Amino acid sequence: MKKTYRAIQISRPGVLELVNRDIPVPGPGEVLIQVEACGMCGADLRDIQNAEPSRQRVPGHEVVGRIIAIGSGTPAIWGLGQRVGVGRLGGHCNACESCRRGQFQLCQNQQVVGASCDGGYAEMMLARSTGLVAIPDELDAIEAAPILCAGLATFNALKKCGAEAGDLVAILGLGGLGHMAVQYARKMGFKVIAIGRGTDLAEAARQLGAHDYIDTNEQDAPSRLKLLGGAVAIVSTIPDMATVSHVATGLTAHGRLMLLGAGPASLSLSSGYMVGGERSVQGSLTGTPYDNEKTLGFSVLTDIRPQIETMHLAQANEAYQRLLKGDIKFRMVLTMTDK
């Protein structure tokens, strides 16, 4: 029986290396997952570039595989051989005030997969059972992986955005998150306007389900939105707060800006604009494992899938360099099976 597994670890900030590690034994409330696929996300860039050198963390938080060992105290709903996934939030504690309120995504003792605990750029991974997500049979591992983060984040934001069927909803950014948001928004019955930079994205936006596309290199997005009556909701998937602040002026009265692209920069919106139209801004943080299962189920029900490229685990550094350059359309997934 194998005693080691291959993993990609951060040897120092910005540098990945392929190593062999001893196979761990799951502790109480943990499971050991044999990883089949792990998506690569923009948040991985921050984890890799800002890593603490002493920890040699394994990145990756869109993990799909099968349970191969179970620790004591793990609920009986999880069994050997079961297909499971793990997203960015690695499992709530069930004891803090947020958990007692049922707000598990805001758990104060939550593991952040790939940042505060090892992630899925590896053949195996330990996971808290409270962070596990059941994977539907209709989705293979490669399809399911990006839904666990990019899918969940956008699906939940759209559910919270306040728009109703037939309302105009704008998706700002047409990358890994945005391409999922456009698909979900269309299937939810919204009039979908995709906003991006460059004419090369126009056809892709329409194929994904957008009713129209605004190229910010050629058009003023808020003006276009106002001509259409204003956006009831704008879902922002980009970290450029100057652009987000400008596009947000295309909201209709009672419109809501949903923020997904997190970063240190500040929004700049006049109080008169916000108060005068009773507009609002809301952040949206991925979701719970239950939310994730709802997202996966909706994806199966409506035939929504991420558009992906794949590379083998051993090619993780090459994939990382492409992610840095934005040279991926639209998601990259690492696979663990040798070609």
31 and 104 together in one domain: yes
161 and 278 together in one domain: yes
Q: Is 150 exposed, middle or buried (0-12, 13-18, 19+ CB in 10 A)?
A: buried
Q: Is residue 95 part of a domain?
A: yes
Residues recorded for the chain:
339
Q: Is residue 302 part of a domain?
A: no
Query: For the chain, how many structural domains are there in total?
Result: 2
124 and 156 together in one domain: no
155 and 121 together in one domain: no
- Give the domain range for residue 227: 151-283
Q: What's the confidence (pLDDT) of residue 267?
A: 93
Q: Which two tokens stand for residue 159?
A: 């559910």
273 and 321 together in one domain: no
- The residues that bridge with 184 in the sheet, in sequence order, are none
pLDDT (tens digit, 9 = 90+) per residue, 99-146? 999 999 999 999 999 999 999 999 999 999 999 999 999 999 999 999
214 and 329 together in one domain: no
User: Model confidence at 262, in pLDDT bands (50, 70, 90)?
Assistant: confident
110 and 35 together in one domain: yes
**Percent of residues in the chain assigned helix, strand, coil, to nearest 5:** 30, 30, 40
pLDDT at 33 over 70: yes
User: Model confidence at 329, in pLDDT bands (50, 70, 90)?
Assistant: confident
Q: Are 181 and 238 in contact (CB under 8 A)?
A: no
Left, alpha or beta for 114 (phi > 0: left; psi -120 to 50: alpha)? left
96 and 57 together in one domain: yes
Q: Is residue 173 part of a domain?
A: yes
Q: Is residue 20 part of a domain?
A: yes
CATH number of domain containing 202: 3.40.50.720
172 and 250 together in one domain: yes
Q: Is residue 301 part of a domain?
A: no
251 and 328 together in one domain: no
167 and 191 together in one domain: yes
Task: Enter the pTM of the model.
Answer: 0.95
Q: What is the mean pLDDT of the chain?
A: 95
Q: What's the confidence (pLDDT) of residue 52?
A: 85
> How crowded is the C-beta side of 7, counted as CA atoms within 13 Å?
23
Q: Which two tokens stand for residue 323?
A: 């992610």
Q: What's the confidence (pLDDT) of residue 338?
A: 66
Q: What's the confidence (pLDDT) of residue 1?
A: 62
Q: Is residue 82 part of a domain?
A: yes
156 and 183 together in one domain: yes
User: Model confidence at 96, in pLDDT bands (50, 70, 90)?
Assistant: very high
Q: How far apart are CA 197 and CA 177, in angstroms?
A: 15
